[in-house]
């Protein structure tokens, strides 16, 4: 009702919401009207007057039992029928918000058989961003999920830390992502950009854990995909500190964990501020602070220091070069 639906599931859910809302509104008006009527009609008109004492009325009793039961029954039926029609429940036994243990082959086979899909994307939720991995692992992106329009997409979502919830209203239902389980959501949509938000409190930067989905016509999508691949393996220009700063403060989420005095980066996850980073002798108390090591660190923090809280942000080579250039200016 508030967000125009852009997938079949969103439309079904929207219809259900509309009917429920209208019914609730009618009930509200009816109840309030009866209250007002009773207050006026049966008010005390004189001192010492006591109202007529009524003990039970068969028709009223039956009426206010049967009518709400019918209303609730209708809503129940409509809700169940909506649920059954959701895209994801193609096979009936795979309701949309079903979660399964990770690596459970039986469950995963059921999911695969439930609905033919054109594209499966692996999604990792973490404090505080969504990371998307395309099939065969060739491409991973953070900021925006780009998908082809008019194709059936399935997201296989896991969390790297706490509970998160996937919620893009225009594309359909909300989905919890619990640690240790894999959650699935299906959608097919038309070209456009759809906004969403993690919908369960997951820590201080929860409110910034936004979701951006962009659906492109299939040929534009192919172009985008090839362009991204080219950036992963293509030539890298010299690092540019200005671009690096822009990445650090806006395009990437470095700012949410790191402090650089005098900027918006005031995140308190990393142990020491980066304000004078280039003066530090070591990177993360692990390797000497050289430009080359810094690039290695940014490419794969876990590889340098297993267990570190700094996530692999799937940075592209050019982004790494620009970030290194920027970080070296912090003296």
Residues that bind Cu ion (CB under 5 A): 164, 198, 202, 209
Q: Which of residues 313, 316, 318, 321 is near ligand HEC by CB under 6 A?
A: 313
Residue 304 binds which of Cu ion, ligand HEC, none (CB < 5-8 A, kind-dependent):
none
Residue-wise burial string across 25-64, b where 16 or more C-beta atoms lie within 10 A, e elsewhere:
eeeeeeeeeeeeeeeeeeeeeeeeeeeeeeeeeeeeeeee
CB of 262 vs ligand HEC, minimal distance in Å: 17
Residues paired with 129 in a beta bridge: 126
Q: For residue 257, state whether it binds ligand HEC (rule: CB under 6 A).
A: yes
Q: For residue 272, state whether it binds ligand HEC (rule: CB under 6 A).
A: yes
- Rounded Cα–Cα distance for residues 104 and 112 (Å): 12
- Rounded Cα–Cα distance for residues 283 and 305 (Å): 10
Q: For residue 241, state whether it binds ligand HEC (rule: CB under 6 A).
A: no
Q: For residue 308, state whether it binds ligand HEC (rule: CB under 6 A).
A: yes
- Rounded Cα–Cα distance for residues 38 and 33 (Å): 9
Tokens of 280: 């530090």
Contact 188, 220 (CB under 8 A): no
Residue 164 binds which of ligand HEC, Cu ion, none (CB < 5-8 A, kind-dependent):
Cu ion
Q: Which of residues 108, 210, 249, 310 is near ligand HEC by CB under 6 A?
A: 310
Binding mask 273-302 for ligand HEC (x = CB under 6 A): -x--x--x--xxx------------x----
Q: For residue 305, state whether it binds ligand HEC (rule: CB under 6 A).
A: yes
CB of 130 vs Cu ion, minimal distance in Å: 9
Burial of 166 (0-12, 13-18, 19+ CB in 10 A): buried
Residue 313 binds which of Cu ion, ligand HEC, none (CB < 5-8 A, kind-dependent):
ligand HEC
- Rounded Cα–Cα distance for residues 204 and 269 (Å): 10
Q: For residue 318, state whether it binds ligand HEC (rule: CB under 6 A).
A: no
**Beta carbons within 8 Å of 16's beta carbon, 6+ residues apart:** 78, 79, 82
Residue 330 binds which of ligand HEC, Cu ion, none (CB < 5-8 A, kind-dependent):
none
Q: Which residues bind ligand HEC (CB under 6 A)?
A: 127, 248, 252-254, 256-258, 269-272, 274, 277, 280, 283-285, 298, 305, 308-311, 313, 315, 323, 327
């Amino acid at each position: 009702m508030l967000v125009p639906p852009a997938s079949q599931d969103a439309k079904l859910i929207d219809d259900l919401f509309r009917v429920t809302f209208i019914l609730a509104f009618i009930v509200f008006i009816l109840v309030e009207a009866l209250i007002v009527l009773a207050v006026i009609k049966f008010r005390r008109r004189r001192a010492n007057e006591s109202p007529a004492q009524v003990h039970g009325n068969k028709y009223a009793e039956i009426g206010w039992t049967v009518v709400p039961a019918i209303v609730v029954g209708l809503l129940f039926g409509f809700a169940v029928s909506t649920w059954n029609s959701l895209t994801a429940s193609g096979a009936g036994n795979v309701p949309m918000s079903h979660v399964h243990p990770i690596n459970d082959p039986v469950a995963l086979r059921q999911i695969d058989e439930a609905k033919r899909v054109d594209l499966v994307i692996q999604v990792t939720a973490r404090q505080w961003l969504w990371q998307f991995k395309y099939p065969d692992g060739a491409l991973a992106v953070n900021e925006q999920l780009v998908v082809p329009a008019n194709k059936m997409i399935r997201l296989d979502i896991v969390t790297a830390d706490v509970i998160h919830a996937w919620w893009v209203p225009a594309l359909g239902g909300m989905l919890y992502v619990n640690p240790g389980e894999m959650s699935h959501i299906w959608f097919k949509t038309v070209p456009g950009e759809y906004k969403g938000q993690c919908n369960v409190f997951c820590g201080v930067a929860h409110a910034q854990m936004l979701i951006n989905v962009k659906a492109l016509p299939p040929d534009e999508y192919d172009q985008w995909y090839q362009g991204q691949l080219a950036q992963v393996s293509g030539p890298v220009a010299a690092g540019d500190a200005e671009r690096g700063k822009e990445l650090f403060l806006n395009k990437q989420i470095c700012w949410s964990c790191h402090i650089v005095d005098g900027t918006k980066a005031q995140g308190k996850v990393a142990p020491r501020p980066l304000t004078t980073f280039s003066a530090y002798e070591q990177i993360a108390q692990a390797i000497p602070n050289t430009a080359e090591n810094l690039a290695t660190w940014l490419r794969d923090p876990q590889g340098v220091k297993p267990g570190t809280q700094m996530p692999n942000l799937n940075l592209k080579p050019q982004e790494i070069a620009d970030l290194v250039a920027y970080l070296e200016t912090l003296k």
